[in-house]
Amino acid sequence: MKKITALFLLFGLMVSAQNNRVIYEYTFRPDSSKTDSLKTEWMYLDISKNGSKYYSKKAFENDSIVAESIKKQMASGSRNIAVSRQRNGIEISYEVEKLYPGYQTFLTASIGNDSYKVAEDRTPVWKIQPEKKKIGEFMAQKAVTDFAGRSWEAWFTPDVPIQDGPYKFSGLPGLIVSVADRSGSHSIELKGLKKITQTSSTEVDTQGRDLPFTRRKPIEVNRKQYAQKLKQYENDPVQGMRELLARPNSKVKINMNGKEISDPAEILRTMERNAREEIARNNNKIELEP
């Protein structure tokens, strides 16, 4: 009884409080050719009165470390800024933002050394089904939709009257507690709810310096333009870095998995090899039709 009472108290906080965090476990198969390639990443859906933001816990922590390192170097007056790129198991680098009350949705993702904010022009069209079941402490109801090239099955709980959910999913009469595509490649399940303070930004003032691997203001594009950028990157994954290194007096030093590299030609070779290997390993993205 105490557990149930605590849950309903938490539901009240979710509805009335300024900032709340929904914690999801995202399980996915990045390589469709390998059935044993399942990976897991903890994802946050931070909800405020103005909207929500969905992002990776590990990516946020890593960005915070990089931002703090750059701030310290710039404060010391260093002319050459060393940027360390350590993946540390990070698989998800994108973010999804929704603006209330209209639920306008934006994807923020990096392609090479550029960041893009993509306005989503599609909305999941749900068909609510009669099936109900208990998921954890929640009584949930089934809904299905086709979105971005995949068929999805979701379970939502009217007990939490927030019409939001992980990734770009929203619009059901209750919080989405579970959503999975029918191929079994992507599955997102709620694991916790908590009240939080305002999330800090990981953006850093580079004082006009163009530093690789740093969070910067994204370029706003529509979905068609973003798809074209993705295609260009697949054809030439180091185009942006090549242009950066070609600038006069450009000096870049990077740390790739513990190895420090400063020679421009070696930087390009290493980055292109790593990029093409990563593209090959990630052929089963959450959106088959971006």
166 or 79: which leads in pLDDT: 166
Closest CA to 276 of 246, 234, 221, 243: 234
Please state the rounded mean pLDDT for residues 219-246: 91
What is the domain extent for residue 101?
2-281
Residue 231 has pLDDT above 80, yes or no: yes
Confidence band for 200, pLDDT divided at 50, 70 and 90: low
Q: Is-contact 58 88, C-beta < 8 A?
A: yes
185 within some domain? yes
289 within some domain? no
290 within some domain? no
Provide the pLDDT for residue 209.
54
Confidence band for 33, pLDDT divided at 50, 70 and 90: confident
15 within some domain? yes
Separation of alpha carbons 103 and 39, rounded Å: 29
How high is the mean pLDDT of the chain? 84
Number of domains in the chain: 1
Provide the pLDDT for residue 19.
87
Residue 54 has pLDDT above 80, yes or no: yes
129 or 12: which leads in pLDDT: 129
75 within some domain? yes
Q: Is-contact 144 151, C-beta < 8 A?
A: yes
Alpha helices of the chain — where are they, by DSSP H? 2-16, 57-75, 223-235, 239-245, 264-281
287 within some domain? no
